[in-house]
Structure 1
Amino acid sequence: MSTQQVDVRAAESDPAESVDSFRARARAWIQENLERADPAAHIGVLRDEGADEDELAHVEHERTLQRKLFDAGFAGLCIPPEYGGQGLTTAHQRALNDEMTGYEYPARLQSPTFAPCVGVLMDFGTEEQKLEHIPAILRGEEIWMQFLSEPSGGSDVAAALTTAVRDGDEWVLNGSKIWTTGAWWSDWALCLARTNWDVPKHRGLTVFMLPLKAPGIEVHRIEMLSGSREFCQEYLTDVRVPDTDRVGQVDDGWKVGTRWMFHERMASNSPYTTLPGGGSRGGSRVTELFEVARDAGRLDDPISRDLLGEAKMLDVVKAALGERIGHGIASRSISDQSASIARLMSGLAATRMTSIGYEFTQASGAAWDSADGAVVERGTDYLMQQVSCIAGGTTEMARNAISERVLGMPREHTHDVGLAFRDVPKNRSAT
């Protein structure tokens, strides 16, 4: 059993405060201390965030919100008290999520800082690493990213070419990572690197913690079709990392990586994340779609009302499925690989929601102006919709995991089984 499962189940067996009492206390504090959320915040699909100064101001505000939650005893509900958490249960976290509906919250800190990064540290971090970093995360002092994808690797993160070479009590890292959300304003990262080229690709990996302001790390921002510059590519040149910042055993990084991807797939259902019901990141989009239909003049259209009903159905099913899978994994009644089911559902539902929004727009989906209200940018969202099936691990990878690791179907055939990674062709010319 993993550390996470032990911690969560132990807390659930001996809660320090009843869920009803906690809910009432949380409701009173939220109403007194938090502002109502901006209903226009984070709508659409990876839209232009605006001026960098505004984005940095939002990040600092969310750090402040996280600190307020920490000081009030509402941060890290399922994290043990020795690491700054509250040692409560997933039911307490769900109650907090419910009560925060409609209020501001530190959205940028939830993923990937709390899931997957906190989950990985809880599962594999040393006692010293947990004591140093988890309280700082809970206070909003550290925002973490994940260095997984590489320009050459696509979804095959085990094919990492970023290298880590031992040099005494340090490691020297060289390579590049890509598609890192918000790396330009973050503090730390978990990085998967190649430490052994003479074994099959899954056996020669190791995970490290990196401070993003370390010498040798360059962060370049990527401009998307929508104008968003949220994603980044990082270049690592002779980055020196002490061995004390290694997470897990040398060459055993795939064991860490497997749990890492589990926590990533469970992000919106993780016991570590605070995501309000109806929140724009991970929550309901039905209200948003209703506003698009209204501003497009389609509310009385029976086809549009059917589409809104479909969106509501997807919303309800996704929430129920996520809760069932989260409970099943925590109670060990289902495999933790079932997190891929929630990942697949969230990707497909988000893509369909975006398509529904575009179906309301008619000609305004191709050309709009500021007077079009919620219809604005729906055409761009439609072009960006597949992001939901790529970010956080592709839905194709989720289907593979479900078929092979949940349903027990035969594994997909590969040509590099048992082959040392240095001998695996890396591109057409190498072949």
Structure 2
Amino acid sequence: MNDFVYAHTDPAELEEYREQVRSWMSENMPRRNHDNPWHPTHDDDAQSSRNRELQRRLYDGGYAAVCYPREYGGQSLTIGHQRIIDEVSMDFDMPLLFSVPTLSITGPTVLEFGTEEQKQRYIPAWIRGDELWVQFMSEPSSGSDMAGALTRADRDGDVFILNGSKIWSTFAQRSDYALLLARTNWEVPKHRGLTMFIVPIHHPGIEIHPIQMVDRTEEFCQEFFNDAIIPAANVVGQVDDGWTVASRLLFHERAAVGGASPYTQGRHRNRSADGLEDLAAMARRNGGTDLGRMRQILGRMETLSRVDRLLSRRVVRGIESGYFPAPAGSLVRLSHGLTQAERQTAAAEFQRDRALVWNPGESTGAYGVDFVQRQQSCIGGGTTEMARNIISERVMGMPREPAADRDLPFNQVPRSG
């Protein structure tokens, strides 16, 4: 059996479901090519098209977004059923572009706060694989202060006029829609004057600029808005109450990044990011006189991995039962980020110079690139520093940090420039 708890579900029913999924996957989903060497992916259009095709296959088979309500295209099943799909699909090519953020971050936010018309229009489309979504939240000038957004949406009758910029948006160039947080009221404190919008990305007045990463891929983007017209019908939640919506989006983001979301689908055994089998094999091949020290590192990684899995299980059950408040998802986010960074550091160390210099066609260079990018897991989905603040203030009940702009109208907050 695996490490996840399948609460409120008959184990025999889950085992029968596992066999159904295994049989269907074998007949309908392409297997991953484990011998294919690592290399950066530049063809965003091909990757997007492939993911849409695979998502449609899952949908047609009844295995797409199974925790979503049946009336919107899901199956109304439990997190236990989704985890079975994740485990069985490890050796198959899966539409991971849809997993995060479409299905696990923006999707649950629309499910909770969208109008019935919005839910009927958008949720079935992304479950079918027709539309990819992204989140437009961070801004160049705000850092981790998301409530300090300067992107503005000025109302003009039945539309809003959007101006400003967002950044670090994952795969925006290949996505179709975004959830965007913009300022709609400058005369109230910053948290009270924000509104969440559904924004079509390839739309007049919106420019997408990809950002090249250290491995030459272009995963993130910056967006510029110049008098982009957004219908008032695209507001999610209430006007000026966007922080309520954004807070839940951030909860779903931390759960997705930390592995505690019921809405993620599919996960691959990445080079150094999942499982310890690869690390152990590296130690046996390359250990030599350092084998004893490598065993110590493996022992630590095994301990951290077990704690990470058990913590995820505990937090998921605690939030579902009401024992933990929703911000407890930051516990999983923090643990997963730190553990991931340590795995990638260990993998690069075990590979020795093969992670620094490699020949064309060899996959060992991936471990070096992972090492250079290891802090991604401590930044994406909210930094580990922010996670610690949330845990201390909202889970442990410690005093909040002082803030000079608290309760001050946003148009009176001093700003550089």
TM-score of the superposed pair, with normalisation by structure 2:
0.91
Check the 8 A contact 1:206/1:252 in 2, yes or no: yes
After TM superposition, list the pairs within 5 Å mapping 1:84-233 onto structure 2: 84-233=73-222
Check the 8 A contact 2:273/2:340 in 1, yes or no: no
Whole-angstrom CA distance in 2 between matches of 1:279 and 1:269? 17
Give the direction of change, closer, same or farther, for the CA distance of 1:420–1:295 in structure 2 (3 Å limit).
farther
Give the direction of change, closer, same or farther, for the CA distance of 1:94–1:355 in structure 2 (3 Å limit).
same
Cα deviations by residue, 1:97-128 (Å, 9 ceiling, x for unpaired): 22222222111111110121111011101100
Residue 162 of structure 1 deviates from its aligned partner by 0.4
Give the direction of change, closer, same or farther, for the CA distance of 1:238–1:119 in structure 2 (3 Å limit).
same
Please state whether the residue corresponding to 1:338 is helix, strand or coil.
helix
Whole-angstrom CA distance in 2 between matches of 1:318 and 1:94? 16
Give the equivalent residue in structure 1 for 2:41. 50
Whole-angstrom CA distance in 1 between matches of 2:59 and 2:331? 32
Whole-angstrom CA distance in 2 between matches of 1:132 and 1:281? 38
Give the equivalent residue in structure 2 for 1:269. 260
> Of 391, 407, 417, which residue of structure 2 is paired with 1:418?
407
Whole-angstrom CA distance in 1 between matches of 2:335 and 2:291? 28
Give the direction of change, closer, same or farther, for the CA distance of 1:38–1:14 in structure 2 (3 Å limit).
closer
Please state whether the residue corresponding to 1:269 is helix, strand or coil.
coil
Whole-angstrom CA distance in 1 between matches of 2:328 and 2:186? 31
Q: Is residue 2:13 matched to residue 1:18?
A: yes
Give the direction of change, closer, same or farther, for the CA distance of 1:283–1:29 in structure 2 (3 Å limit).
farther
Q: Which runs of 5+ in 2 are unaligned?
A: 1-6
| Residue type of the alignment partner of 1:346 | H
| Residue type of the alignment partner of 2:14 | V
Give the equivalent residue in structure 2 for 1:5. none
After TM superposition, list the pairs within 5 Å mapping 1:386-405 onto structure 2: 386-405=375-394
Residue 305 of structure 1 deviates from its aligned partner by 2.5
Q: Is residue 2:329 matched to residue 1:334?
A: no
Check the 8 A contact 1:275/1:282 in 2, yes or no: no
Whole-angstrom CA distance in 2 between matches of 1:146 and 1:299? 48
Give the equivalent residue in structure 2 for 1:348. 338
Give the equivalent residue in structure 1 for 2:4. none
Give the equivalent residue in structure 2 for 1:61. 50
- Greater alpha carbon shift after TM alignment, 258-267 vs 31-40: 31-40
Give the direction of change, closer, same or farther, for the CA distance of 1:22–1:365 in structure 2 (3 Å limit).
closer
Please state whether the residue corresponding to 1:301 is helix, strand or coil.
helix
Please state whether the residue corresponding to 1:100 is helix, strand or coil.
helix
Residue 57 of structure 1 deviates from its aligned partner by 1.6
Q: Which runs of 5+ in 1 are unaligned?
A: 1-11
Please state whether the residue corresponding to 1:192 is helix, strand or coil.
strand
Give the direction of change, closer, same or farther, for the CA distance of 1:37–1:332 in structure 2 (3 Å limit).
farther
Give the direction of change, closer, same or farther, for the CA distance of 1:42–1:241 in structure 2 (3 Å limit).
farther
After TM superposition, list the pairs within 5 Å mapping 1:241-256 onto structure 2: 241-256=230-245
Give the direction of change, closer, same or farther, for the CA distance of 1:322–1:283 in structure 2 (3 Å limit).
farther
Residue 299 of structure 1 deviates from its aligned partner by 9.8
Whole-angstrom CA distance in 2 between matches of 1:263 and 1:297? 40
Check the 8 A contact 2:186/2:410 in 1, yes or no: yes
Check the 8 A contact 2:153/2:183 in 1, yes or no: yes
Whole-angstrom CA distance in 1 between matches of 2:378 and 2:88? 29
Q: Is residue 2:295 matched to residue 1:305?
A: yes
Give the equivalent residue in structure 2 for 1:318. 308
Whole-angstrom CA distance in 2 between matches of 1:295 and 1:225? 28
Give the direction of change, closer, same or farther, for the CA distance of 1:233–1:356 in structure 2 (3 Å limit).
same
Give the direction of change, closer, same or farther, for the CA distance of 1:341–1:183 in structure 2 (3 Å limit).
same
| Residue type of the alignment partner of 2:220 | F
| Residue type of the alignment partner of 1:347 | G
Residue 60 of structure 1 deviates from its aligned partner by 1.2
Give the equivalent residue in structure 1 for 2:248. 259
- Greater alpha carbon shift after TM alignment, 350-359 vs 293-302: 293-302
Check the 8 A contact 2:40/2:215 in 1, yes or no: no
TM-score of the superposed pair, with normalisation by structure 1:
0.88
Give the direction of change, closer, same or farther, for the CA distance of 1:417–1:214 in structure 2 (3 Å limit).
same
- Greater alpha carbon shift after TM alignment, 407-416 vs 373-382: 373-382
Percent identity, aligned pairs only?
44
Whole-angstrom CA distance in 2 between matches of 1:162 and 1:400? 25
Whole-angstrom CA distance in 2 between matches of 1:237 and 1:181? 21
Cα deviations by residue, 1:24-83 (Å, 9 ceiling, x for unpaired): 21121112212222347897xxxx73332xx32222111111111111111121111111
Please state whether the residue corresponding to 1:234 is helix, strand or coil.
strand
Whole-angstrom CA distance in 2 between matches of 1:40 and 1:187? 33
Give the direction of change, closer, same or farther, for the CA distance of 1:134–1:258 in structure 2 (3 Å limit).
same
